[in-house]
C-alpha cells in the first residue's frame, strides 16, 4: 500500500512540474511559431 501512495505522489509532482513548465513565455513562443 505505501508504495502506491508514493507513486501517486510522484505522479502528482510530475503533473505539477508540467503545469509549471507551461509559462506565459512558453505560450507566446508557441503562438509565434503558429503564426
Cα of first residue to Cα of last residue in the chain, in angstroms, is 49
Q: What is the pLDDT of residue 15?
A: 61
> How many Å apart are CA 19 and CA 11, to the nearest integer?
12
* pTM greater than 0.75: no
Question: What count of other Cβ atoms lies within 10 Å of the Cβ of residue 14?
Answer: 10
> How many Å apart are CA 1 and CA 22, to the nearest integer?
33
Q: What is the pLDDT of residue 14?
A: 67
Question: Could you give the 3-state DSSP secondary structure of residue 35?
Answer: coil
| pLDDT one-digit tens code per residue, 2-20 | 678 788 877 776 666 655 5
Q: What are the boundaries of each domain within the chain? A: 2-34
> How many Å apart are CA 23 and CA 30, to the nearest integer?
11
Amino acid at each position: 500500500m505505501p508504495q502506491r501512495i508514493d507513486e501517486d505522489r510522484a505522479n502528482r509532482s510530475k503533473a505539477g512540474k508540467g503545469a509549471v513548465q507551461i509559462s506565459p513565455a512558453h505560450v507566446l513562443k508557441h503562438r509565434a511559431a503558429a503564426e
